[in-house]
Amino acid sequence: MRSIPFILLLLLTVTLCPVGSMAAPERVPDAASLEASGEKLQAPDDFPLPERIDDREVIRAFSDSLVQQQRGAPVTVNNHELFRLYDTIGDITLERRAEKTSERLNDFFRSRIPIDSLSIVEGHKLTAIRTPDNIITAFSDLDAIAQQLTRRELAEEAFGTIALQTGKFREETSGRNILFSLLKSLALLLALSVVWHYMNILFTFIDGWIQKLRLHHKADSDNKLLQLLAPDHLASIFSWMMRLLELFLKILLIYAYLATVLSFFPWTRDLSTNLLSFVLQPAGKLLQEFFSFLPSLVVVIFLFTVVRYLGKFSDVVFINIARGELKFVGFEQEWAEPTRKIVKIVLYLLLSFLLLASLPIFNSPPSLIILVMFGITFSLSAVPSMKNVLSSVMLNYTGSFRKGDQIAIGNVRGEVVSKGLLVTKIRNRKNEVVILPNRDVIGSKIINYTESVQKNGHLSVEVPFYLFRHVKIEEIREKVAEATLGTDGIMLDPKPVLRRIADRNGKYGYLVKANTGQARDIEAIASRMEQHIRERLLADNIN
């Protein structure tokens, strides 16, 4: 019962729809079925007939982009381009086709085949140029289209070029012309010899005149500027310039001779052209680079000049400070030399930085990479040296010691021989020169005996001695003082002091303390003082 409404709806739909709409669609016959039935398709009477078009225009429409992309392959004979090819033939590539054509034309140029035996022949797709025995070149539609010509026109143009160049080559390589070229080469060699001879005479005369000028005008002044501007010095510079000019002119003569002689012969004419371009092109490029580099060169010269004169000015200032002729409040005289060196280093570093910023060669990525690698390598390798340099700066500006001072650094004791940026040299009592890196010196305890004498007026000399029996200090004080004061270098005031010290190896210990103002000989004074004390005590049977 539930399906009755659906049945009624279906009957209503069939009743309302037209009968034609329910029929199968009419099938449109295709061309194959009409042809099978024998009927033919006919175009309407108003449909226009197609225009005829030249096949070359169709090829040009589809090949223009290809022609624009490729520049063609040159056909050359004796390094002279005759024409270009743009199309492949069968499975032969464009390059191979041009190479094969060049070989055949080269053989024809050197053969005895008459030029008037050449002919143009037409094929279905190619137009060729041939001799009675062989085809030497051929052209396709694409070759002609690339040059905006027909195949026939292209062949005729190539024919004329081949005939002209063949005649020219055969005439140039004839025996008469080769003999004439050899005679011209010999005449040119003779002319070169004459020019060479008189050039030697000229420069010999100039050199003799310069030597006479140097002998008669010698500078006697000690001023370096006057020596630089003296006639003999200027003559020496002029002589060097003349030698350089002579060498340049002789090289130029040889080069011109070779280029000219090579141009006489057809086999070497292209070599002559290449020889000229080999020099002229780099020379032109060098001149162009030189003129573009001139602003940077002016900047470099200016920077060098400024840094040089700043360095000379700083040298004059610090040398006068070191001599005591110029003084600044709070600036020690001994700081002059290390400060001068530091100023020089800073100036040169500044110059290097400005050169890197101004020269265009250092603005390229490869140069920057090389500079960065060099900087990293230098930084890693210079770490120990920089520690020594910084330690030297601290030693100089703290005034720890000076050259000639008597000092003790750790276990090393002696006279300071030199203070450098990297090391300090000390001569000990054995006359040995001990070299200490500045980074070790700055980290050690430093005792400056010379400065102690200058500031305090004296140094203490302590000499221990030991006796087998115990003696009261009051019994030997006068004797020890007498022996001590009798030693050269010992000061009378303050007086020597005697006291007891710890016993050693069963002997009773005593220590005498005296004063001296001679820091250089303190060890020798102590040795003489000990000897005098023992001699004085032995004289009284005290041992």
Taking a C-beta distance cutoff of 8 angstroms, is the pair 111, 136 a contact? no
521-532 pLDDT, tens digit per residue, is 888 888 889 898
pTM of the model: 0.42
Residue with the bigger pLDDT between 394 and 441: it is 441
Q: How confident is the model at residue 29 (pLDDT cuts 50, 70, 90)?
A: very low
172-213 pLDDT, tens digit per residue, is 777 788 888 889 889 999 999 999 999 999 988 888 887 777
What is the average pLDDT score of the chain? 78
Q: How confident is the model at residue 60 (pLDDT cuts 50, 70, 90)?
A: low
pLDDT of residue 218: 58
Highest mean pLDDT among 221-230, 363-372, 387-396: 387-396
- Tell me the three state secondary structure of residue 426: strand
Q: How confident is the model at residue 67 (pLDDT cuts 50, 70, 90)?
A: very low
pLDDT of residue 157: 92
Taking a C-beta distance cutoff of 8 angstroms, is the pair 89, 97 a contact? yes
Look at residues 498, 535, 536 and name the one whose alpha carbon lies nearest to residue 514: 498
Query: How big is the CA angle at 192 (ends 189 and 196), to the nearest 5 degrees?
Result: 140
The answer to whether residue 313 scores a pLDDT higher than 50 is yes
Pairwise CA distance, residues 354 & 361, whole Å: 13
- Per-residue tokens: 256: 């011109």
Contacts (Cβ under 8 Å, ≥6 apart) of 248? none
pLDDT of residue 190: 93
The answer to whether residue 36 scores a pLDDT higher than 60 is no
- Per-residue tokens: 88: 């492949």
- Over range 532-542, report the average pLDDT: 87
Question: What ranges do the domains of the chain cover?
Answer: 57-173, 176-266, 405-450, 457-539
Pairwise CA distance, residues 253 & 232, whole Å: 31
CATH number of 457-539: 3.30.70.100
104-154 pLDDT, tens digit per residue, is 998 888 888 888 889 999 988 899 999 988 899 999 988 888 888 898 999
Distances (CA, A) of 232 to 128, 202, 225: 78, 21, 13
- Domain 405-450, CATH 3.30.830.10 — does that match? no
Dihedral in degrees, nearest 10, Cα atoms 365, 370, 376, 377: 170
Residue located via tokens 């086999």: 267
- Tell me the three state secondary structure of residue 266: coil
Distances (CA, A) of 213 to 28, 160, 205, 218, 478: 117, 68, 13, 9, 86
Residue with the bigger pLDDT between 54 and 314: it is 314
pLDDT of residue 194: 93
Look at residues 321, 433, 335, 329 and name the one whose alpha carbon lies nearest to residue 392: 335
| DSSP codes, 325-383 | SS-BTTB-GGGHHHHHHHHHHHHHHHHHHHHHHH-GGGGSHHHHHHHHHHHHHHHHHTH
The answer to whether residue 541 scores a pLDDT higher than 80 is yes
